[in-house]
Every structure is written in structure tokens, then in C-alpha cells.
Amino acid sequence: MKEITLQPSIGINLHLDSLPLVRECLNDIDHVEVMYENIRELSRTESWNEIIQYKSIHIHSSSMSIGSTGGVTSDFLCSSELAVSSLSPEIWSDHFAITRLNGYEAGRLLPLRPTNGVLRDAAAKIKIFMEKTGVRFLLENIAYYFRYPGYDAMDAHYLAEVVTAADCEILLDVNNIFVNAINFNFDPLSYLQALPIDKVGAIHIAGSRRIGPLLVDSHDCTPSPESLNLLVEAIKLTGPVPVTLEWDSNFPSVDVLRQTLSDIRHQISLCSDTRA
Ligand SMILES: [Fe+2]
């Protein structure tokens, strides 16, 4: 085992409501992740230019609805092309999910039904998006709270199939793996091993909380020790890829956020690169 010093880029996702908080922590982060759907309102703020001038930008979207029938709309492609040319993001990511059903916004991430046709269409959408925008595209594993009869709860194989067919990368959300592993009783390390790990281009981590019988990927608290441990296991395999802390509501104090970012850096510094 070869010990090396890992210094991946650490960042946080950005909301209008968390803008003052993130601004206080600019020295603690290397990049920010912005939702494509929020760029317009964020760009009207005073802090926006300061942030995009000094920090790398990752764009994250939920508009592609990879698992829906039908292609990516021309409006979305044109708008994405504009966002890429104006912000020069390092990466663009969206979810291995359905967010639109029969033209209506679902308002949440729903697992897709992984039939051969759905997986083939998903890869085709991603290819068109990458050809049009020229940006690196990463597909994210989601947290889900139901599964389709006849399909394995562990969706790593289906995700791998689409990523390979589209020749894109993976945004590995370690908290989503942890949440799914608890709710559907599988081994999170087996999930990692079922992925083409060389395709992982970035990592998400977030907090979760128990609501009724389910553990929910809530993005409203500090990551659990289990999630941080899974982050370490993932980084051992992937090497130093960018890590983004997702925090969407119930925002913490500046001190708590700084400590959380510091804990993530510390956990990563404990990693050993086991690759040849
Ligand atoms: Fe995520």
C-alpha cells in the first residue's frame, strides 16, 4: 500500500439562502456547485461575480430527466450551451433519475425503471448534451425510497451501463449510497465495487436523518460518521477527485460549516492510495 498526500478540491453547493454563509467560508473551499436552475437568480446578487471570479464552478442540474421518454429539449440544450460558455464550469452533472413525467415536473428525484430501452435512451441524451456543450458530464447515483418489482435495489450495474455507453463520468454521492444501503439492506462497499471506479470524476457528501421507517438524504445537517467513512473508502479507490458538501436547508453557523469542511479535509487526508 502506497501512502500519498491527497489534496482534492473541496467545495459546497450554493443557494440564494446560503450565499452569505458560503461567502464567509470562501477561504475554506476550492469550488462551488451551483444548480443550473438557480443560476439566473444567483447571478443577480452582489456576491456572484466575486465567487465566480475566484472559485471553480461545478454546474449541477435536475432538468435532464435522464429516465423519461423523449430527448433533451432544444431550449435546455441552448441554455446549457450559454451557461457553459459564460461560466466555463469544470464539470456538469445531473441525476440517474426521472424528474419529469408526461411533461409535468415531478418535483423530486424518482428512480428510473432500468429497462434496456430506458438505459439506451439515457445514454443517447447524455451524448447529445456532451456534443452540444463540450463540457465534462457526470451522472449521479440518487437516493431512492422505493424500487420497481423485479429490479435489484442496488442500481450500480445500471448506472455503470449508461455511463459506459455514453462515455461520460460518475458523480458518486456517498451519502446516497449509505442511505440506500440502510433502507434496502445492502453492503455499501459492494456498491462501490460494482461501479467502474475509474469513471468517478467527483463526489458528493451530505447529511441524512431518520424520518419514520426511512433514513432520508436530507441535506440539512452534518454528514454522519458512516457517510464520512464511506467517503474515505471511495477516495481510496478514486484518488483525489473533487468533493462537494451538499447543504440545502437548516443552514448551520459559520463555525459549524467551517468545522464540517475541515472534518471532510481531515478524513480525506487519512486516505491511502491503494492504486498501483
Ligand atoms: Fe448528491
Query: Model confidence over 15-60: pLDDT tens digits?
Result: 999 999 999 999 999 999 999 999 999 999 989 998 999 999 999 9
169, exposed or middle or buried, with CB in 10 Å at 0-12, 13-18, 19+?
A: buried
pLDDT of residue 161: 96
- Ligand 1 centre to CA of 216 (Å) is 12
pLDDT of residue 217: 97
- Ligand 1 centre to CA of 276 (Å) is 29
- Ligand 1 centre to CA of 85 (Å) is 24
What pTM value is reported for the model? 0.94
- Ligand 1 centre to CA of 14 (Å) is 13
Average pLDDT of span 66-89: 92
Length of the chain: 276
Question: Cell numbers of 174, please?
Answer: 456517498
- Ligand 1 centre to CA of 246 (Å) is 7
CATH class of the domain defined by 59-269? alpha beta
**How distant, in Å, are the alpha carbons of 27, 29, 68, 151, 189 from that of 7?**
15, 12, 38, 38, 23
pLDDT of residue 251: 97
Average pLDDT of span 193-216: 97
Q: Where are the domains of the chain?
A: 59-269
pLDDT band at 232 (very low <50, low <70, confident <90, very high): very high
pLDDT of residue 100: 86
